[in-house]
Amino acid sequence: MITYTTGTPTEYDDLLDFGNYVFKIDFKALLPKLYDHQEHLAPYHFIAKEGNRIKAMVGCFPLDLNVGTHHLKGMGIGTVSVHPYSRRQGFMKHLMTNALDFMQAEQADFAILSGQRQRYEYFGFAPTGVMMRFVVDQVNLAHKSITHTDSFTLRPFDDLTSLELQHISKWHHSKLLFSSRPLENFITICKTWQAQPFAFYQDGVLKGYIIIADTNVLDFYIEETSLLGPLLSLTLSQQNLGGLSLSVGPHDQDLITYLMDFAENYSISTATHLNILNYETFIRTFLALKSSYTSLEKGRLILEIKDVATLLIEIGEQIQVTPTDQAPHISLSHLEATHFLCDPMRFIPEELRDLTALIYSWFPLPFSFCSVDNV
C-alpha cells in the first residue's frame, strides 16, 4: 500500500540516500545547504512510501526574495526523484500536487525550480524572468587596459575572520534584490552547486566577493563598479581560466553599462522556471523595482488570469495592483500570463496594440534569481 507523507528528521539519511541513488550524484557535496546535516529540512520532503521504503520524493524548500523594500515568500522545488522500478505510476504528479497545496497553505508568493520545461509546465512553472549574461576573457580586458596588480588578492571564504564574513554578509543583504543567507549558514549556501566563494581585496582592504563554479560566476558584489574589471582579471589568472560568464539582473544598470563596454558578447535569457502564486503582490513588487531605475508609462491595464484573478494594474503617482470585476483588456491562462508579464521577448497581442507604449514600459517585470540560492 502506498502512503503519501512528509519526511521526518529520523528519516533524513534515508532521504539523502534515496536522492543519491536515483540521481547517481552526491547531494551532500552538491547541495550542502540542504543535505549536509540539515535534518530540520526533512519535513520539506514530500514522499511516497510502500511500507518503510521510499518510492518517490519531491523537495519543497522555503526561499525568500527581498526586492527593494518588499519581501516575497518563495518556495523552491528540487530533488524530484522516483525509484527506477516505480516510474509511470503517477507518484511525481501526486507529490507535486501535494507540494503545490502546501505552497498555497503557506501563502507563498512564487515558486521556482530547474528541470525539463514540458514536465513542469503541467504544474504551472514556466521558463521566464530576465538575466543579462556576459562572457569576458583576458583579451577583452587587455584591449580596455583593464588588468590586476599584486595589490589585488583573493581569499577563500573558509579563511575569513568572523568580522570579514559579517562584512560580506552585510554587502549581500544590501543589494536591491537578494535572497536571505543567514550568517551561520552563509558559507555553506555560497558553496552550493560545488561553487568556490572568494573575498576580494585591494591593498589588504576588503572590496567585494565572487562565487565561481567552473567558468561561471554565480554571484558577486563589488564596492566600486570600476573594480569589477580587476576582479575578473585576477579570477581568470588565478583560476587559469580562458573566460568567465556572469549574469546580472536588469536592475543592475551600472554593472550592465560597465560590462557592455568590453564583454566579448552578451545575451538576454530567462532566469529560471517560475510559478507566480500571488499575482497581485508579485506584479506590484517588481513594478516598484522597475520604477527604481526607469520611468514607467502612466496608465491602466486590466488583466484576467483565467481561474485565478482579474487585476487592475494602474500607475499614476503610485503603483496600484488591485482585484477588479471590470472587463479585462486581455484574458490569459496562467502560463500565458507568466510569459506576458516576465518574458524578455515581447510581442504585443492584437487586442493590446493601443497599449503598446505602456506594455513596453511596464514589462517584462525584472524578475531574476541568483542560482546560488536556488535548489
CA separation for the pair 255, 79 (Å, rounded): 34
- H/E stretch holding 302: strand 299-305
Residue 120 shares a structural domain with residue 16: yes
Residue 156 shares a structural domain with residue 236: yes
Question: Is 367 part of a structural domain of the chain?
Answer: no
HSE-CB at 250 with a 13 A cutoff on CA atoms is: 26
Question: Is 106 part of a structural domain of the chain?
Answer: yes
Residue 331 shares a structural domain with residue 250: no
Residue 253 shares a structural domain with residue 136: yes
On whether the CB atoms of residues 30 and 83 are closer than 8 A, the answer is: no
CA separation for the pair 117, 337 (Å, rounded): 16
Residue 158 shares a structural domain with residue 243: yes
Counting the structural domains of the chain, the total is 3
Question: Within 10 A of 268 (CB to CB), how many other CB atoms are there?
Answer: 12
Strand partners, 343: none
Q: What pLDDT sits at residue 145?
A: 95
Q: What pLDDT sits at residue 237?
A: 96
3-state per-residue secondary structure call for 11-66: HHHHHHHHHHHHHCCCHHHHCHHHHCCCHHHHHHEEEEEECCEEEEEEEEEEEEEE
Residue 110 shares a structural domain with residue 179: no
Q: What pLDDT sits at residue 349?
A: 84
List of the chain residues with pLDDT < 50: none
Q: What pLDDT sits at residue 13?
A: 96
Question: Within 10 A of 223 (CB to CB), how many other CB atoms are there?
Answer: 13
- Give the CATH number of the domain where residue 66 resides: 3.40.630.30
How far, in whole angstroms, is CA 15 from its chain's centroid?
Answer: 24
Domain ends where: 125, 160, 188?
A: 125
On whether the CB atoms of residues 130 and 364 are closer than 8 A, the answer is: yes
CA separation for the pair 89, 314 (Å, rounded): 46
Domain encompassing residue 187: 132-269
Question: Is 371 part of a structural domain of the chain?
Answer: no
**228-132-221 Cα angle (round to 5):** 30
Q: What pLDDT sits at residue 350?
A: 85
Domain ends where: 125, 159, 174?
A: 125
Residue 240 shares a structural domain with residue 302: no
Residue 227 shares a structural domain with residue 290: no
Q: Which three cell numbers stand for residue 103?
A: 505552497
Q: What pLDDT sits at residue 346?
A: 78
Record the pTM.
0.95
Q: What pLDDT sits at residue 285?
A: 98
Domain ends where: 94, 125, 156?
A: 125
Pairing type for strands 265-269 and 244-248 reads: unpaired
Residue 196 shares a structural domain with residue 315: no
- Give the CATH number of the domain where residue 340 resides: 3.30.1050
CA separation for the pair 355, 352 (Å, rounded): 5
Residue 294 shares a structural domain with residue 325: yes
Q: What pLDDT sits at residue 345?
A: 86
Question: Is 368 part of a structural domain of the chain?
Answer: no
Residue 120 shares a structural domain with residue 153: no
Question: Is 345 part of a structural domain of the chain?
Answer: yes
Residue 16 shares a structural domain with residue 111: yes
Question: Is 375 part of a structural domain of the chain?
Answer: no
Question: Is 370 part of a structural domain of the chain?
Answer: no
